[in-house]
A and B are shown apart, each in its own frame.
Chain A
Amino acid sequence: GAGVSQSPRYKVAKRGQDVALRCDPISGHVSLFWYQQALGQGPEFLTYFQNEAQLDKSGLPSDRFFAERPEGSVSTLKIQRTQQEDSAVYLCASRPYAADRGYEQYFGPGTRLTVT
C-alpha cells in the first residue's frame, strides 16, 4: 500500500517568504508527527497530532511555525517569514494508533527546505 507522502520534495524560499509543507499520512493512521532534521543531525520533534487534535507543539522553534490537521488526515506545516536557520529537511511520520499501543513510526521522504 501507499506510504507516507510529502510535498513538495524540495523547496527553495527567499528569506522572509512564507512556505507550506504538506504531509499525507498512511490512510487511517491516527497519530502524525513532524520532525526537523538539520544536516548531519538526528530528527528533532516539532509537533504531534492525534486525529485533528494537536496534542503537543512543544518542539516548534518559534511562533513563525504553525501546523494543522483539520480533518484528521492531511497535515500542513507552515513557516512564516522564513529565516536561513529554517533550512533543513522536514519529516512527517505517522502510526496507526494513539497512545502507547504499537510503536513503529512510518516516515515520509521529507521536504528539503533551503532558505536563501
Chain B
Amino acid sequence: GQQVMQIPQYQHVQEGEDFTTYCNSSTTLSNIQWYKQRPGGHPVFLIQLVKSGEVKKQKRLTFQFGEAKKNSSLHITATQTTDVGTYFCATRDSWGKLQFGAGTQVVVTP
C-alpha cells in the first residue's frame, strides 16, 4: 500500500486562481519529494524537503513540510495552463527508492 495519501485526487482550477494540494502520512517521514508529470510524460523532480516546518519556493510554487513531518503541501499561485499535469509527492528511502502517492491531477480552464 501507499505510505502517503494525496488530496484532492482531481483539481479543476480557473486560470489565474490559486490552489493547494496536500500529502499526508500516518507515520513520520524523513523526507518528502514532489514530482510533476505532464499528460503523456514522465515524472520530473521538483523539490525535496527534509526539515520540520521547511518552506521552499520556486517561482509560483510554494512547498511546505509540516512541523510533525507527517504532511506536506504544494501551493500554486496564479495558475497557468502550463501547470496542467499530475503532481505526486513521494518519500525516499536511504537507497533512493521512492514510494509515491496517487497524485493530484490538475486541470486548468482558461
Chain A residues engaging chain B, CB cutoff 8 angstroms: 31, 33, 35, 40-45, 48, 50, 55-56, 91, 93, 95, 98-100, 103-110
Smallest CB-CB A-B distances: 3 pairs: A42-B100, A107-B42, A100-B94
Contact A110 B98 (CB under 8 A): no
A44 to B3, CA, bound (A): 11
Question: Interface residues of B, CB < 8 Å — how many?
Answer: 22
Contact B98 A43 (CB under 8 A): yes
Let me know if B24 is at the binding interface, CB within 8 A: no
For chain B, residues 59 to 110, give those with C-beta under 8 angstroms from any C-beta of chain A: 88, 90, 92, 94-103
A42, A50, A104, most chain B CB atoms within 10 A: A42
Interface of B is mostly: loop
Contact A43 B100 (CB under 8 A): yes
A107 to B33, CA, bound (A): 14
* Cβ contacts A to B, 11 pairs, < 8 Å: A41-B103, A42-B88, A42-B100, A93-B98, A95-B96, A100-B94, A103-B31, A103-B92, A108-B42, A109-B41, A109-B42
8 extra interface residue pairs, beta carbon distance < 8 Å, beyond A33-B97, A43-B98, A105-B45: A35-B98, A43-B100, A48-B96, A91-B42, A98-B95, A99-B95, A104-B45, A109-B41
